[in-house]
Amino acid sequence: LKKVAKEKGWDTLQQLFESGEMFEVTPYDANRGGLLIETEGIRGFLPVSQLSAKHYPRVNNADKDQILQKLNELVQQTLRVGVLDIDRENNKLILSEKVAKREETKQQLEKLSVGDVVTGTVTGTVDFGIFVTVGGVEGLVHISEISWDRVSNPADYVEVGQEVEAKVIAIDGDKLSLSMKQLTEDPWLEQIKDYQVGDVVEGSITRVTPFGAFIQIAPAIEALVHISELGEDADPDAYFTVGETRKFRIIDIDTQVRKISLSMAEESTGQGSDSG
């Protein structure tokens, strides 16, 4: 009888898979990879990657203990899912909450266009950006699109539950890309008007890398002294100290990519200051 019941369960799930019909399940346990589910007498798995935006565990540094803690909160909750993959011979059943939301997500995204300004609710912050739900669809404000300033921690700019405005910058399949910084003028473009190639400027060294040093010459403008401007076999670490202020000469301005190249204004480099 158990075997008959199990075969009937597989038949039902196969039909649900083929029809694309959604159904409700209640997870009985969780592990770091996802949720354990039994439905129609068959045990299945709902991977973390197949959870909806509402239930996806947002944690920094992919902390496995934090992920498990958030997944345990979903145990005994009712979830609406679809069958993502079924293999009776290998006793494999993979369920997806995302599948159940796919049509709804598609309909919502069809209402949006690149360039639209939308209001959404912050659902999470991670190292690489901010998740914002717009009309039931979750979008990402990448860390590079949060502010015109350099952002080190997205959580410094928003709180979960906060309403924010953002601009739609890309829609790719079911992925929504948003920008907060593009709702404001780029201060770089305004401040660069004060500079020309050949100008000698004073700047503070902000970062030293193997290929050169970055210099802050205005609140919104960071320029680069490439290692090639320091002389043969130069070592940027030996040449620059973070926080130090020195004079430089602007040798190139590229507004398209927001890039300024500098050379040393001092004669001690042994190179002509107009070299480029």
pTM: 0.64
Q: How far apart are the C-alpha atoms of 208 and 85, rounded to whole Å?
A: 50
What pLDDT does residue 60 have? 65
- Yes or no: say if 224 and 262 are a contact pair by the CB < 8 Å rule: yes
What pLDDT does residue 103 have? 75
What pLDDT does residue 9 have? 92
CA separation, residue 125 to residues 23, 53, 60, 259 (Å): 30, 13, 8, 29
- Token duo for residue 130: 């901010």
123-177: per-residue pLDDT in tens?
A: 888 889 999 999 888 899 999 999 988 898 999 999 988 999 999 999 998 889 9
pLDDT over 70 (residue 182): yes
Q: % helix / strand / coil in the chain, to the nearest 5? A: 25, 40, 35
Task: State the fold for domain 111-183.
Answer: OB fold (Dihydrolipoamide Acetyltransferase, E2P) (2.40.50)
Domain 187-269 in CATH 2.40.50.140: yes
pLDDT band at 274 (very low <50, low <70, confident <90, very high): very low
pLDDT over 60 (residue 267): no
Q: Let me know the angle formed at the C-alpha of 61 by 56 and 66, rounded to the nearest 5 degrees.
A: 55
Helix (H, G, I), strand (E, B) or coil at 241: coil
90-134: per-residue pLDDT in tens?
A: 999 999 998 877 777 888 899 999 999 999 999 888 889 999 999
Q: How far apart are the C-alpha atoms of 16 and 23, rounded to whole Å?
A: 8
What pLDDT does residue 270 have? 39
What pLDDT does residue 273 have? 37
What pLDDT does residue 62 have? 67
31-89: per-residue pLDDT in tens?
A: 989 999 999 999 999 999 899 878 888 776 667 888 899 999 999 999 999 999 999 99
Dihedral in degrees, nearest 10, Cα atoms 161, 162, 166, 172: -10
What pLDDT does residue 1 have? 61
**Which ranges in the chain are annotated with CATH 2.40.50.140?**
2-100, 111-183, 187-269
What pLDDT does residue 98 have? 86
- Token duo for residue 270: 């042994």
DSSP alpha helix (H) spans, the chain: 2-19, 64-72, 97-110, 187-191, 236-239
- Yes or no: say if 183 and 168 are a contact pair by the CB < 8 Å rule: no
What pLDDT does residue 136 have? 83
Q: Which CATH superfamily is domain 2-100 in?
A: Nucleic acid-binding proteins (2.40.50.140)
